Amino acid sequence: MNHNIINIQKWEQKIPPTESVLQQLMLDEGLSPYKWSNDPGDVYAAHTHSYFKVIYVVSGSITFGFPIDGAPITLRAGDRLDLPAGVPHNAVVGPDGVVCLEARL
């Protein structure tokens, strides 16, 4: 994993993973995931974090925008975002809300 590059990994299987499957993937990497959720249409204005974060979408969807580094991308169940510290980003939650697992490196 490169800690300086945004990485997006789309879930390739037809059946979305369960929360426990995603949690185990994170635990297998030595991560300590926690769960968060948002309501449909919730918006996060552009901001940065002081830490590297890993996010898996458990259910619903969320669209992340990267004002400096590229076009917005929508993540759905099973999709993963590796977001380096200091990368400006914003987000809009999809019409069904979103549940995610997140961990800090």
CATH numbers and ranges of domains, the chain:
7-104 (2.60.120.10)
Three-class DSSP category at 69: coil
Amino acid identity of residue 18, one-letter, is T
Q: Do β-strands 89-104 and 80-83 pair in parallel, antiparallel, or remain unpaired?
A: unpaired
Query: What are the 10-residue block averages of pLDDT along the chain, 105 residues in total?
Result: 81 96 98 98 96 97 88 96 95 98 96
